[in-house]
Amino acid sequence: MKNLQTNLLKYSLGITTLLLFASCADTKTEKEEPMNENALLAEWTGPFQGVPAFDKMNVDDLQPAMETAMEMHLAEIDAIANNQEEPTFENTILAMEKAGEDIGRVFSYYGIWSSNMSSPEFREVQGILSPKISEYRSKISQNEALFQRIKTVYENAQKNPLEAEQQRLVELTYQEFEMNGANLDSAQKKRYAEINKELAALYTTFSNNVLHDEESYVTYISKDQLSGLPESFVNASAKAATDRGEEGKYAITNTRSSMDPFLTYSDERDLREKVWRTYYSRGDNQDEYDNNDVIAQILKLRHERVQLLGYENFAEWRLQDRMAKNPENAMELMETVWPAALARVEEEVAEMQAIADAEGAKISIEPWDYRYYAEKVRKAKYDLDSDEVKQYLELNNLTDAIFYVAGELFNYDFRPITDGSIPVFHEDVKVWEVTDKDAGDHIGLFYLDPFARQGKRSGAWATQYRSHANYDGKRTVLASNNSNFVKAAPGESVLISWDDAETFFHEFGHALHFLSSEVKYPTLNGGVRDYTEFQSQLLERWLYTDEVINRYLKHHKTGEVIPAALVEKVKNASTFNQGFATTEFLGSALMDMKYHTVDPEGINPREFEKQTLDALGMPKEIVMRHRTPHFGHVFSGEGYATAYYGYMWADVLTSDAAEAFEQAPGGFYDDEMADKLVKYLFAPRNAMDPAEAYRLFRGRDATIDALMRDRGFPVPGK
C-alpha cells in the first residue's frame, strides 16, 4: 500500500484529452528561444528530443505562462470543434491528441512546484490559478460542438470498428466526456462547471493546509531524550534541527519518514505520544488550517455533481470504468479481508501486551505504542532487529539493485548523466539515460528526487514529464521517482527500512511502466486506477530475490553481504504485523468508500470518521493509515477518491502473479515469464482492457487465495 501519488494531472477531474498534458510536451529542438519568451512556455531544447528547463523555473512566470497556454489550447480545441469536414478519427480524436503541447510544458513545471518545490509565493499563484484551470477544463469537457464530433466518430466506430488502439482511444475519449457532463443541458452544464471550479479551490486549500501542518509542527528533543533511537536516525535528526536553526537539538519532523522510526525505537513513551498526536492531527487542529469543513464542502459538491448526471452517489459514478465496476464489488473484497485482519490485530496486541507486562511497564497498548512493542515482539519472535537490517539497506546500493532488476527483466541499462547537460530543479535530483542493453537504442531518462525537504509533500510517488507515443515518431520518455528519505549527515550513508526499500522498488515499478510503454497515442498511457498499482506492487517482490540480496544488500561500512540467517529472519517475518498493516490500510479504504456512498448533507467529518470506525470495529490501538483531515489521496484531488481500495484490488493481482513467477522454472528471473510480464502487463498500458491483459499473462483470472496466503490469513472456503 504505497503512497503512489502522481502529479497534478492525475488528480484532475480527468477528461481523457487532459491526460495527455504530461506526455505531449514538445520535442522540437531546432527553434531558437527568443530572448523575451516566457521560459515555461518555451519549447524544450537540448539532448534527447528536448528536456524541461528546470534551471530556468521562476514562479513569477507561472501565471502568465499558464494563462497563455490555456488560451492557446482552447484555440486549438475550438479549431477542431469547428472543423467543417465530416468528423473522422484523424481530424477529431488524433487532432486532440496532438493539441496542447504548450500547456503540457507548463503543467510539468506546475507539478514540480506543487509537489517537490512548494513555496508561499507558489501557493499564492496556485490559489489564483486553480479556479482558472478548472474553468478552462470545463470549457473543453462542455464544448458541445467538440462532443458532437467525438460522438459521431464513436458511433461510426461502433458500426465499423477501427484498428484496436484507435478503437480503444475513441471509446475512452467518448466515455470520459460523457462521464464529465457532456450530455447535460445548458443549465446543468453551467452548474457542473461551477462545482468543478469550487472543488478546484477546495483541493488546493486542503493540500496547502496539510503542507502547512507538516512544515510548521516539528518536535525538538534534547540529547537526554534519545534513548533507543538508532545512530543513523539521531544524526539525521541533528542535521534536520541544524537546518532549521536549532543547533544542538534533534528534530522529529512531521512526516512519515521521521515519525515512523521514532515511534518504532524511542524509549520515551511521552514523546512517542506527542509525535504520534502531532502527525495524526495534521489538518485537524481546529485552527485556520483545519480541513474538516473543507472536506464537508468537497463531499457535498461531489455528491451534487454526480446527481446532475443521474447517479445515486459519487462511488457509483466513479467506479463504473474501473476493474471493480461498482462500490459493491470493491466493498466485497475489503469485507472479505477485514475480519481476518481484525483477528490478527487481536493476536498482535496480546503479544505486545504480554511483553509490556513482563517489563513492568504498567500500561495498556495505545496507538503510539504499537510500532514500539511490535518491534520488541519481532525481536523476541523472530530474533529480528529492524535496525540491524537497515545497516544493509543503503540507498545507493538499492538504486543499483532496481537498475539490475530492470536490466534482467526489461533489458534496460541505466547510465548516470553527470555532465550538467540535463537541468534539474534541485541539487538532490539525479538523472540517468535509459537504453536497451543489447541494441543500445535510447528509451528515456530517469529522474530521481530522493530526499525530504521543506516545500516537498510527504510520501513517495512517480510521475512523467513526457510519456511514450509513436503516432508521429517514437518519443523519448521522461520518468521520475520522488521519495522523502531523511538525508544523512555529511559523510554518512542513507540507510532505510525494509518497508522503505519495498516502497523504493514500488515506485520504480511505476517508472518502468512509463518507460516500457509501447502505445501509439499519448492518452493510452493513462490507466485504470485499481489496476495501475498492480505493476508497481509486483516489482516489490524482486527485493526478496537472492540475486538482489547477494549483490546489493551490503553493510554500509564493511561491504559484507547481508547474512543468510538475517535474510531468513526477514522472510520468516514477512507476514509479521500484517494485522496492523492490513487494518490501518483498510481503515482508510473503507472510510473512503463510506464517505462517498452516503448523503453528505450536514456531515461532520470528525464525527463521521469516529462513528464509522466504531461501527466497523476498528481496534482502539490502531488509527487509519491516512486520517480524513490529511487524506490527500482522496481530498487533494479526485485521482484516488473512492479508489484507495485499488491498492488491495491490485494486490490480489500481485499475489497471484507472484505465484506464477514462483512456479516458473527460472523463478523471478524466468525468461519466458519476463517476456510475458513486459508484453502483457507493462507495455500495453491502457491500450488493452486490463482484465484481458491479465488473462493473457496468467491464462486465467486472478483469485483472492494468493493474497490471503501472502498475508498469513485463512483462505476463504479452504
Q: What is the 3-state secondary structure (H, E, C) of 361-415?
A: CCCCCCHHHHHHHHHHHHHHHHCCCHHHHHCCCEHHHHHHHHHHHHHHHHCEEEE
pLDDT at 432: 98
Cα atoms in the 13 Å half-sphere on the side-chain side of 511: 33
**Count of CB atoms situated within 10 Å of the CB of 151:** 17
> What pLDDT digit, counting tens, does each position of 45-93 carry?
999 999 999 999 999 999 999 999 999 999 999 999 999 999 999 999 9
What's the 3-state SS for 519-568?
CCCHHHHCCCHHHHHHHHHHHHHHHHCHHHHHHHCECCCCCCECCHHHHH
Look at residues 648, 378, 397 and name the one whose alpha carbon lies nearest to residue 530: 648
Q: What share of the chain is helix, strand, coil (3-state, %, to 5)?
A: 60, 5, 35
Cell numbers found for residue 101: 503541447
Alpha carbon 594 to its chain's center: 22
State the Cα–Cα distance between residues 252 and 263, nearest whole angstrom. Answer: 10
Number of helical (H) and strand (E) elements in the chain, helices listed first: 27, 7
State the Cα–Cα distance between residues 69 and 75, nearest whole angstrom. Answer: 10
What's the 3-state SS for 409-422?
HHCEEEEECCCCCC
CA distances from 30 to 43, 46, 54, 420, 423 (A): 9, 9, 19, 21, 18
pLDDT at 526: 87
Helix (H, G, I), strand (E, B) or coil at 275: helix
Pairing of strands 442-451, 477-485: parallel
What are phi and psi for residue 208, nearest 5 degrees?
A: -70, -30
pLDDT at 9: 32
What are phi and psi for residue 176, nearest 5 degrees?
A: -65, -40
Residues 444-474, buried b or exposed e (16+ Cβ, 10 A)?
bbbbbbbbbeebbbbbbbbbbbbbbbebeee
- Whether the model pTM is above 0.85: yes
State the Cα–Cα distance between residues 420 and 138, nearest whole angstrom. Answer: 40
pLDDT at 28: 37
CA distances from 143 to 19, 81, 139 (A): 17, 8, 6
- What's the chain's Rg over C-alpha atoms? 25
Furthest CA-CA distance within the chain: 83
State the Cα–Cα distance between residues 281 and 288, nearest whole angstrom. Answer: 14
Contact 369, 356 (CB under 8 A): yes
What are phi and psi for residue 287, nearest 5 degrees?
A: -130, -165
Helix (H) or strand (E) holding 424: none
State the Cα–Cα distance between residues 470 and 472, nearest whole angstrom. Answer: 5
Contact 106, 125 (CB under 8 A): no
State the Cα–Cα distance between residues 387 and 668, nearest whole angstrom. Answer: 28
DSSP β-bridge partners for residue 316: none
Alpha carbon 429 to its chain's center: 19
pLDDT at 3: 35
- What is the mean pLDDT for each group of 10 consecutive residues in the chain (718 residues)? 33 34 36 64 96 97 98 98 98 97 97 96 95 95 96 98 97 95 94 95 96 95 97 94 96 94 97 98 97 98 97 96 94 97 97 97 98 96 93 98 98 97 97 96 97 91 95 93 93 94 97 97 90 95 97 97 95 92 97 98 97 98 97 93 95 97 97 98 95 96 95 88
Domain residues of the chain, as ranges? Answer: 8-201, 217-280
Residues 6+ apart with CB under 8 A from 133: 66, 70, 200
Instruction: Identify the architecture of domain 8-201 in CATH.
Output: Orthogonal Bundle (1.10)
